[in-house]
């Protein structure tokens, strides 16, 4: 837990660098919603190849960062102890703005439906208050091991 009483992403998620895309949780209601940050330094390995001379955050990684934040909200609820949420589907993903090195991606996820074995939610990623990505997420919940 951080000083604010919020989980450190690495303490909740099984993901590790270079595939951990949430740096900080800034607000959360377990199984309901979460807000977080992903600070892009420019040193991330994908920027070297996407694209040389014009580094751009791949849209699929924006969606993944939203899914990771949603997983933090799910796994912070004791009901889902020992579980792992996995992608079941992505709907209506829209990319509205280029995200580049030095940007901070502000992530927000609302979980609309939660069950014992699946859930649905919505995510929005912004930079400086401007929407970069919006999507609906569907996930299945499986045993962690």
At residue 40's C-alpha, the angle toward residues 138 and 30, to 5°, is 40
Structure tokens at 121: 């939610």
Q: Which of 71, 79, 96 is nearest to 14 (CA)?
A: 71
User: How many angstroms separate the CA atoms of 124 and 135, rounded?
Assistant: 7
Strands 83-95 and 33-39: unpaired
User: How many angstroms separate the CA atoms of 107 and 69, rounded?
Assistant: 8
Please confirm, yes or no, whether 50 is among the known catalytic residues: yes
Determine which one of 50, 77, 84, 100 is catalytic: 50
Do 34 and 28 touch, CB atoms closer than 8 A?
A: yes
User: How many angstroms separate the CA atoms of 1 and 114, rounded?
Assistant: 24
Q: Would you please indicate which residues are annotated as catalytic (active-site) residues?
A: 50
């Amino acid at each position: 837990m951080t000083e604010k009483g919020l989980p450190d992403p690495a303490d909740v998620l099984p993901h590790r660098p270079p595939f951990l895309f949430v740096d900080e949780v800034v607000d959360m209601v377990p199984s309901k919603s979460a807000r977080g940050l992903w600070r892009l330094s420019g040193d991330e390995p994908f920027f070297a190849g996407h694209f040389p001379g014009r580094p751009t955050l791949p849209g699929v990684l924006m969606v993944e960062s939203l899914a990771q934040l949603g997983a933090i909200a799910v796994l912070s609820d004791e009901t889902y102890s020992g579980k792992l949420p996995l992608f079941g589907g992505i709907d209506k993903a829209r990319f509205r703005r280029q995200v580049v090195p030095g940007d901070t991606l502000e992530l927000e996820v609302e979980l609309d439906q939660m069950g014992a074995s699946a859930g649905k939610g919505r995510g929005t990623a912004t930079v400086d208050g401007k929407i970069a990505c919006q999507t609906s997420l569907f996930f299945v919940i499986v045993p962690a091991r």
